[in-house]
Structure 1
Amino acid sequence: MSSSRITIPARRGKAAYLDRGQQVRVINTHGQQVIDTWAFNRDDLSECMSMEHLRTALGRIAVHGGDALVTNRRRPILQLVEDTSPGVHDTLLAACDRYRYELLGWTDYHDNCTDNLAAALGELGLAAPKPPSPWNLFMNIPVQPDGRLSFEPPVSQPGDYVLLQAEMDCVIAFSACPQDMVPINGVACTPTEAHFEIV
């Protein structure tokens, strides 16, 4: 089975086409990097992987091996085939954007996943009608007993990966999250590159 490794540069995004039945391995190369992940119906970008619809379909906030990830039209778009990490990924939070960093006290422009998605799709000559909430691979956001969310470092290790299978012809997009003000990319708050392989 041949594959090609593609770099998701630190603080940047990357997108690619997947045919139905193709698989993509998303690799946490250095172990502590959150990778925001989106998928869109190739023929109609208004149909996209939806965390709101996914939580309804699964009846939980965690995705397990064998689960289908569904679109805003409640159709499978990806399937989680394999996960070598501890399985801690986030389905709750929106992608970071300029406004998130402004609220954290950043006054100049800050790289962000929302803009990274637009740039990654733009490299393919595409534009999403409205940026959906991503599946935040390797992001560790525990829900506390009182309902509060905690922003914690990933529990993944270098080389951990998830293997996804396309359930329709789609466009998949990733952002190596540039968050460096809270420790979601490790206690060093240093975003790093990640990789994916289409297999």
Structure 2
Amino acid sequence: MVDGCLTGMETTTAEGRMVVPARTGRGVRVAAGRRVSVVDLEGGQVGDVFAFTADMSEHLSAAHTRAATDRLFPAQGRHFVTDRRRPILALVSDTSPGRHDMLIPACDPARYASLGAEPGHPSCAENLHRALAELGTASPLTPQPVNVFMHIPVDGDELRWLPATTRPGDAITFQAVVDCVFVVSACPQDLVDINGGDPTPLAIDLLPAD
């Protein structure tokens, strides 16, 4: 900790801010009852959010959450659930325009290859696994993330890829229902328009319990 802020790949549950540089991922351990915010520092940036139980036996499941809430994205006060249909996070508040996505998987090397990118392009899938490794843990899979600030309107049976509409300082805040591992990737996608072609940093704010 430096001046009350989380730095680098900090693993503590102390309060503070961890900056997630553009195109990278960071993770923190969040105790049950604690709140954690994802903040768009410059505006127009998508974040892939992943969460796992502390023992890594369950993960936040977008598909199970859609079934549990009957919504494409939970409303404030509702829960995100795991692949065992148990609550892991609650949506506490949202100061953004409220456009988020739980349909699109994490970008990965195969996605960028299909878009014509050069080998080695950063991806959210790789960011997840690097962040977990820095926390001393691992997952055998890449769950479908909660894509905060991602604007993917559904038009009939078609999806549209539009730039994020967030402003600098917009934030979405979750509360941990159980002890969990929380990872955010500042999405490096620059070949479709979701980040306006120019990925920028995010921040993770670890807050006290209510």
TM-score (norm 2): 0.90
CA distance in 1 between counterparts of 2:158 and 2:57 reads 32
- The answer for the alignment partner of 2:205 in structure 1 is 197
Aligned length: 194
Q: Which structure 2 residues correspond to residues 141-160 of structure 1 after superposition, within 5 A?
A: 141-145=152-156, 147-160=157-170
- The answer for the alignment partner of 1:176 in structure 2 is 186
- The answer for the alignment partner of 2:8 in structure 1 is none
Whichever residue aligns with residue 48 of structure 1, its letter is: H
| 2:159 aligned counterpart, secondary structure | coil
Mark the runs of 5 or more structure 1 residues left unpaired by the alignment: none
CA distance in 2 between counterparts of 1:75 and 1:164 reads 16
- The answer for the alignment partner of 1:129 in structure 2 is 140
Shift of 1:157: 1.0
- The answer for the alignment partner of 2:65 in structure 1 is 54
CA distance in 2 between counterparts of 1:155 and 1:103 reads 26
Whichever residue aligns with residue 195 of structure 2, its letter is: N
- The answer for the alignment partner of 1:85 in structure 2 is 96
**In the TM superposition, what whole-angstrom CA distance separates every residue of 1:96-154 from its partner, at most 9, and x where no partner exists?**
00000111111322100000000000101111121100000000000112x11000001
CA distance in 2 between counterparts of 1:57 and 1:11 reads 31
CA distance in 2 between counterparts of 1:108 and 1:25 reads 32
Q: Which structure 2 residues correspond to residues 21-100 of structure 1 after superposition, within 5 A?
A: 21-43=33-55, 45-100=56-111
Whether 2:171 is the aligned partner of 1:161: answer: yes
**In the TM superposition, what whole-angstrom CA distance separates every residue of 1:9-50 from its partner, at most 9, and x where no partner exists?**
11000000000000011101111110000000002x130000
CA distance in 2 between counterparts of 1:112 and 1:195 reads 18
Whichever residue aligns with residue 131 of structure 1, its letter is: T
| 1:171 aligned counterpart, secondary structure | strand
Whichever residue aligns with residue 90 of structure 2, its letter is: Q
CA distance in 2 between counterparts of 1:12 and 1:158 reads 19
Whichever residue aligns with residue 70 of structure 2, its letter is: G
- The answer for the alignment partner of 1:10 in structure 2 is 22
Q: Are the aligned partners of 1:140 and 1:184 in contact in 2 as well (CA < 8 Å)?
A: yes
Whichever residue aligns with residue 203 of structure 2, its letter is: H
Identity %: 46
CA distance in 2 between counterparts of 1:23 and 1:78 reads 9
CA distance in 1 between counterparts of 2:81 and 2:67 reads 10
Query: Which contiguous aligned blocks of 4+ residues in structure 1 show a shift greater than 6 angstroms?
Result: none
